[in-house]
Structure 1
Amino acid sequence: MSDLIINTLTNSGVEERFLRYVQVDTQSDPSSSTYPSTEKQKNLGRILVDELLALGIDDAHLDEYGYVYATIPANSNTPVPVICFCSHMDTSPDCSGTGVKPVVHRNYQGGDITLPDDSSVVIKPSEHPDLRNQVGNDLITASGTTLLGADDKAGVAEIMTAAQLLMTYPEIKHGTLKILFTPDEEIGRGVDKVDLTKLGADFAYTLDGETAGSIEDETFSADGVTVLINGVSVHPGFAKGKLQSAIKIASEIIHTLPKDRLSPESTNSREGFVHPVSINGGVEQATLEFIVRDFVDNQLETHERELENIVKTVVAKYPGCSYRFSVKEQYRNMKQVLDKHLQIMEIGLEAIRRAGMQPLRRSIRGGTDGSRLSFMGLPCPNVFAGGHAFHGRQEWVSVQDMEKAVRTILHIAALWEEHA
């Protein structure tokens, strides 16, 4: 009965929700030390809480750190593990999220999509091959001057729509379900202040993936590296033979990095990389920030040794200068945890099949809130939300793929009850 009800649900309202949510500016800020990093993220949180309360989900609330918590009570007498569905509310600081104007392209018939507010922004099937699977579907883009925010307001809209349907159709049997919406995922702080005891879930699924039908149980492992260069500052009018500019040394380090390997531009699939993300400072002192990524933990150490050898070799050419090299763990490959709980993925894969798709089991060349949640004791793979071309003005999502994600959530909830 549950399968029949779920698979006949159409026009669920996910499009309308999504169009509203993306117009709320929730961009996070990596330079901020507050939680959340921007107060405006709470504006969407308050909207979501009001909507959840209106659905009859009585414990929905927004906490001081910008997290939204809610519980959909069980409607089954069978003991079922408590399952959480999670998405993040913030959008990337890489591209403006202010004044988003979503545009719906009905019945897409292939070809390029030129965005109305900036004709130089063109979404091309040659650059976005997933568009070739969208003929006949309704696509949503921004207008050309901002990102769209499908990462991850598509996931938020899908979870909210699934919550409404679960509260409307008691025929869909399920155990206790938890909802968690997080701030600051885009700047790596998405679960810094989450209260897992209050959440009370056994397992979770983030809705933060890309292509319809995909589910990801593996992420990069990630470290951050900070290199502090101490130069020798001398008045430039009297600097000959004396001045040793820290910012020039830092630039030489970046120039010495491998060009044909070990960078995001030259790697794919399961290859890791070392990526400089910022350089700050001046003559006397300069700081380089790197991110280091690989699917295998000990390869991170290999990459970091190579990076430090480059730093050491460059700095050695400048007597009187010194450096400090520090490594900070960011997150680890969630597969290390998920392989100990195989049922989570088995149910996710079956839910995708029941929603009418061929499941695609993938690895993420990145991370999600689920990466850290898994190591905090809440095993959490990542399910597709349907968005594409994240963090830029060419971002797009298919309404039909969002509908498929809603059905997948419902099937996951029903399957945990069925298997119990």
Structure 2
Amino acid sequence: MRKHKCMAAGLLAISIASMSLLSGCELIDNVKNGVGSFFSSIFSKQTLGNEVYKEINGNKYYIKAGMILNINDMNEVKAVGVKADDKSHFMNSDCNYTNDIEPVYLADYRSVLVGNTIYTSYISDDDDFAEGIYKYTFTDDPCVLKKEVWIDKDKLDDSEISISTGYHNSIFDLKADGNYIYFINAPVIDYKNSYRNENNDTYLKMCRINLKTNEIELFDDVIATTYTIDNGWIYYFDDGNTNELSNDYGIDKDRSGIYKIKTDGTQKEKLYSLEETSSGYVDFRQLEIHNDKIYFIDPLNEEKLCCVNKDGSDYKVISENSVCSYAYNENEKSFYYFNFSYDDLIGNLYKINSDNTEEKMNGDFRGSYYYIDYCDSKIYFSGGGNLFYNVNYNTKSNDQSDYDIGIIYDVEEQETTEIKANYECKIYNEDVFERRLYEGPYFEVK
């Protein structure tokens, strides 16, 4: 593993996230020395900071909705964000935010929760789309976050990660183990081919950042598209990418498979090889460890939930249907998974019991909700998208319907709670340009 120090002048820690989801109630709040090592011995299972829902400082937060939401015991919803300045704006728009709080939205796979702090990547529209990492800390005010730049573009450029502004937002799939924040140096798909043309030797390689020293380390021998961390080991899927453009997408089929490696970069071992592969790109999704088995969504088996033992043996298909995402109930040793139809935008929720029997849950899940998390007998959906982007790009008049930004499903009552929100928009002309004034957000809970 190559190492490179990258100090972030006086600020604390970093990270960014992933959506490889784990049980949302298991993250440990108590953090030693204010930064890293969780008291993980109290719990039977390590979590990695990718919760959709979390209680922090006695307050309840729906973290991965269309914005971060504070929900009280009366099911009242408020936006969570940073104090807005007097000239808050977005693109060619002016904004009057409710209670002068500018909501914070967390993009999928690009934030992580460590204790009472969220670390998330950002792309600046003021400096050639430069990339960096923000730190949002929860405060005594349940709706206000303290925002700091933790690492900026210069710090990243000085490291061996080789973040390129030619292809931005490469810090992807963040997880935390209490001492480090891990991520994959992966481009958004639209920039994939151009980035590979640059022959960047860190493409899809794993990295980590020390929460105490801010030292950036590159795993030189780990190429991953999905991964998890369990008891000092990283388990990951290598898609065989060779960083070369060719007719077969530059895939080394013999290299493709599931591996494990110690978190210090030693003892790498291949656990599972693909018995068959298509002529192009193959990528397992949402790799996690439960019940001493490795679970993943397998595109070679109709996108179903599958598993192997931790030594790579005994491949099994777990779900009856294709899976967009899944969540695990530690108490019942059961799984929930979400199946989604892109044709009619309707999803179904299923439960796989501990005896491997499967049942469909009641409910009509419409909209773009792809990721789920389980906590306290409830399923929290995320993936509704950034409310402000949706409103800004779809507003055609002064009248605008509400947008779904979150769904909470009670698995015991089999009842669905929908959270809808919107901004009031007024369109007016200024010289030759059209401008908009947004007020809100306003919420409705159904």
Which of structures 1 and 2 has the bigger CA Rg?
Answer: 1
Which range, TM-score by smaller chain? under 0.3
- How high is the TM-score relative to the length of structure 1? 0.26
Higher fraction of strand: 2
Higher fraction of helix: 1
Query: RCO (CA 8 Å, sep 6+): is it higher in 1 or 2?
Result: 1
- How high is the TM-score relative to the length of structure 2? 0.25
